[in-house]
Homo-oligomer: A and B are copies of this chain.
Amino acid sequence: MIVAESVEDVRRGIAAPRAAGRSIALVPTMGALHEGHFSLIAAASARCDFVVVSIFVNPLQFGPGEDLSAYPRPREVDLAACEQRGVDVVFYPPAEVMYARQCLTAVHVTRLSEPMCGRDRPGHFAGVCTVVAKLLNIVQPDVAFFGAKDYQQAAIVRRMVLDLSFPVRIEVCPTVREPDGLAMSSRNAYLTDEQRRQATALIGSLRLGERMIRTQRPAPSPAAVEAAIRRHLADEAPGGEIDYVQLADPEELSDVERTDRGVVIALAVRFGRARLIDNIVVDRLPADR
């Protein structure tokens, strides 16, 4: 396994497999790798011949007062995990390599970046798009893998790739969960035991919303589902503070008027300094049942 710290090193590491016509996968991460990341690496290995994992805690996507400095960076553990899973190249650049001079360029996807996490974290998705564009240009993968837990991020990256004609396919892999349903996240490490227990209410409330949409006829309104989710969270996770609960069009992320024509339910809840997000997609239901 090659560990590359410079753009030149990573490009050199990929040159031979590319010239040999092997397909190249990129799994962009911020490190602190967990089973969610490992599922992306497994999907990448299954789909492509050569797997590149990038590990970079991207300052551009953190706002003032967010957890940039606290974000976990277990370098040796992450590298060992990649090695063990057959990763071919880890691109692990220091910040001064990624942003050798001040980055004056920003890539921004309007509309999709405005609701949900975009409201709570202004500039976050421009930071994500900018670094993803840069990583795509450095690695030039055939396929890049993202997790469905970051639903809005995946939708925005897909749109950026489409709008700017990046020569890459974006694959979004299912959220990996703890046995009790909590979505895997590097930020779960911030939780106290009591917060960890309450955090299962996120997926509980989403499943409650899904059940309402699947079973109630006529289908419940978005407002009714949102209210039920908020009640569930208030009851089951009194230590959490809700940032948002949003029902939206799965592609455009715009408000929906009905819940039975395909909808994503997304939410963000803060427990102390841990801001957790999760989501569930309820596909369009058959017209009569």
Contact = CB atoms under 8 A, between A and B. Distances in A.
Given A104-B159, A107-B106, A140 B167 contact: yes
A191 interface: no
**Is the contact region of chain A dominated by helix, strand, or loop, or is it mixed?**
mixed
Contacts of A103: 163
A137 interface: yes
A165 B103 CA distance: 11
A108 B126 CA distance: 10
A130 interface: yes
Contacts of A106: 107-108, 110
Contacts of A107: 105-108, 133, 164
A85 interface: no
Q: How many copies does the complex hold?
A: 2
A105 B108 contact: yes
A123 B176 CA distance: 41
Given A106-B110, A107-B105, A110-B106, A130 B165 contact: no
Nearest to A101: B162
A138 B163 contact: no
Interface in A140-186: 140, 159-160, 162-167
> Which of A111, A134, A165 has the most C-beta atoms of chain B within 10 angstroms of its own C-beta?
A165
Interface of A: 7, 11, 101, 103-112, 129-130, 133-134, 137-138, 140, 159-160, 162-167
